[in-house]
Amino acid sequence: MSGAASSNRLIDVRSGRTTTWADLRHVDIPAPAAVVVDSSFAALPSVKAHAETGAEFLVVAAGRMEQALRTELRSAGFAIVDPDGGVEAALVPRPAQDGRLWLLTSGSTGRPKQIGHTLASLTTVSGDMSARTWLCPYSPGTYAWWQVVTLALGSAGQDLVVVDPSDLDSWVAAGIEYGVTAASGTPTFWRQTMMAHKDRLADVPLQQISLGGEPVDQAVLDQLRTFFPDARISWIYASSELGASIVVHDGRAGFPVEWLDRDAPDRPRLFVEGDELVISSPHHGAGLDGAVRTGDAVVIADGRVVITGRIDSDEINVGGAKVSAGVVRGVLTSHPDVAWAHVRGRKSPLVGNLVVAEVVLTSGETAAPEVVEALKAWSADRLPDYGVPRMIKLLEEIPAKETLKSDV
Amino acid sequence: MSSVSREQLRALMGEVLATGGKALPDDDGALLADIGFRSLDFSELALRVEDEIDAELNFEAAGLRQITTIADVLDLLTEIQDQ
């Protein structure tokens, strides 16, 4: 960490405790290691250790650490450090890579994929900045989480107010109490906040509002403007693979069409091929070079390039959390009563999409509410809550055209 | 277009909560945060209403408002069915 940043304040909303990087407790990382944390704040000592020693590691939220992932990481040479401090050794030990940080992203197949970064490649904002108190509302170890954490690690005067995704309902009160001046969240996060905290939201002294992780529409930007007429409202297009690639501060959805095919040093190049956004970025992860097809669809209208959503419908975006339709389908079809399943996102208020499913039972029954409930419970035991199909429709038979598809 | 009455809305809300092993209290003033009715639940309820009335709900029409109690949810979903 930069010396000037060592006195930045780190505030844990859950415990009400305030500390600094300098005063944070010391931990050793048995590199390479996957550090499992049960809260966002609990990850910070390992971040400090990495900044000081370059120990290779990744942060993973306990809720994401399933047995299959644990085995995969151990096979990839990582020791697992559990929240209680217990260490499970790697299955295939290997030497650590100095300075390496890993992010877990939902790969296109839904299986978590490791993307190699370093503190430098994750730090997209550095240098002298006005002093700010940042809300950190993201799930520990995600790209967006690292974006906020590296800010507080690299620049003086950048304090962190850390709130866990499960405690988000309390953030507005904490934002007022601790004087949060900058906050970053998904459009879903902001829509939920405006709905649940309409009365008090404007009391948070926000000067900088950022949105990312999902398509950003004009409505959510305009609504935020009514609460914060003087704040800078920015949206950011970033991903674990590409890093931050587009930052727009003018309060409008989309980016100016003039930014396409433009060459500028140290800036990503943006292209549109067909209706897909293609980016070649200086902030990309290790091993990714040249132009990357983003899988995100764009529409060009009124001089703006607006990102509308995923081209590949396998990925369902539930309030910023990504779910693979294929993984959910696999969970459903692994149930002994299920003959066939189709999983998709259905457009929904607040969270953008909900996971819904159509299922054919081996019995062919179509009126079996108890089986539907059992399938939801089955899914809830095997998937994060946003991945559980909220509505399951029973069909009498497998739709004919679907049976011709190779992926079913 | 058919519409869903407030009582039906309440019943649907109870079903959504029941799936998560939670109960809907009788008091419409109960706080959503206290009964564990989260944004995923709200979204599911909206979809169930859409299925009942066979039309998409227009949330833009509702404008911004505070949604903290059971009554807030019932009011909102009742109102926007008519938009």
CATH of the domain at B58: 1.10.1200.10
pLDDT of residue A283: 64
Contacts of B18 (CB under 8 A, 6+ apart): B24
Among candidates A37, A59, A39, which has minimal Cα distance to A47?
A: A59
* Residue in chain B nearest A194 by alpha carbon: B64
Q: In which element (H, E) is residue B46 found?
A: helix B39-53
Domain limits, chain A: 315-403
A315-403 topology per CATH: GMP Synthetase; Chain A, domain 3 (3.30.300)
- pTM beyond 0.80: the answer is no
Q: Is A319 on the interface with B (CB under 8 A)?
A: yes
Cβ distance A195 to B19 less than 8 Å, yes or no, reads: no
Q: How far is B74 from chain A (nearest CA, A)?
A: 14
Q: What pLDDT, on a 0 to 100 scale, did the predictor assign at position A407? A: 34
Give the separation between CA B66 and CA B60, rounded to whole angstroms. 14
Note whether A308 contacts B: Cβ–Cβ < 8 A.
no
**In this complex, do B19 and A198 lie within 8 Å of one another by their Cβ atoms?**
no
Q: For residue A214, which residues of chain B lie inside 8 Å, CB to CB?
A: none
Which of B33, B39, B47 is the closest to A319 by Cβ? Answer: B39
Residue B47 is nearest to which of A195, A197, A346, comparing CB atoms?
Answer: A346
Backbone angles phi, psi at A279, to 5 degrees: -130, 140
Residues of A with CB below 8 A from B67's CB? 195-196
| Contact predicate A169/A238, CB 8 Å | no
Best B19, B40, B49 residue to mutate vs chain A (most A CBs within 10 Å): B40
Contacts of B59 in chain A (CB under 8 A): 349
Q: For residue B55, what pLDDT is reported?
A: 86
For residue A129, give both structure tokens.
Answer: 């900045």
A202 touches chain B (CB under 8 A): no
pLDDT digit string, tens, across residues B59-74: 776 666 778 899 999 9
Three-state secondary structure call for residue A344:
strand
CA distance B44 to A324: 19
Q: Do A386 and B40 touch (CB under 8 A)?
A: yes
Q: Which of B19, B39, B66 sits opposite A376 (nearest CB)?
A: B19
Those residues whose C-beta lies under 8 Å from the C-beta of residue B75, and which sit 6 or more positions away, are none
Beta-carbon separation of B19 and A373 below 8 A: yes
- Residue-range definition of the domain harbouring residue B65: 6-81
Question: For position A88, what pLDDT does the model report?
Answer: 96
Give yes or no for A192 touching B (CB within 8 A). Answer: yes
Residue pointed to by tokens 């598809």: A405
CA distance A20 to A43: 14
CB contact under 8 A, A390 and B46: no
Please tell me the distance from the alpha carbon of residue A296 to that of residue A277, in angstroms, as a whole number: 6
CB contact under 8 A, A351 and B68: no
Nearest 5°: the CA angle A265, A271, A274 is 170
Most B CBs within 10 A among A348, A355, A375, A388, hence the mutation to make, goes to: A348
Q: Residue B9: pLDDT above 90?
A: yes
| Residue B1 resides in a domain | no
B31 at A interface, C-beta within 8 A: no
Q: Is residue B24 part of a domain?
A: yes
Instruction: Residue A209: name the closest of A196, A192, A227 by CA.
Output: A227
The two three-digit tokens of residue B78, written as one number: 């009742």
**ipTM for the whole complex:** 0.87
Min Cα separation B10/chain A (Å): 18
Q: How far is CA A129 from the centre of its chain?
A: 25
Helix axes A143-154, A44-53, angle to 10 degrees: 60
Mutate which: B19, B37, B39, vs A, most A CBs within 10 A: B39
- CB of B2 less than 8 A from some CB of A: no
CA distance B66 to chain A (A): 5
The ranges of chain A with pLDDT < 50 are: 107-110, 401-408
Q: Is B59 on the interface with A (CB under 8 A)?
A: yes
Nearest to B46 among A199, A226, A348 (CB): A348
Query: Would an 8 Å CB–CB cutoff place B66 in contact with chain A?
Result: yes
- The verdict on residue B35 lying in a domain is yes
Tokens 């409202």 -> residue:
A233
Structurally, chain B folds into a number of domains equal to 1
β-partners of residue B65 are none
Question: Residue B39 and residue A350: Cβ atoms within 8 Å?
Answer: yes
By the CB < 8 Å criterion, does B42 face chain A? yes
Taking every pair of Cα atoms in chain A, the longest distance, rounded to a whole number of angstroms, is 67
pLDDT digits (tens, 9 = 90+) for B40-49: 899 999 999 9
pLDDT at A127: 63
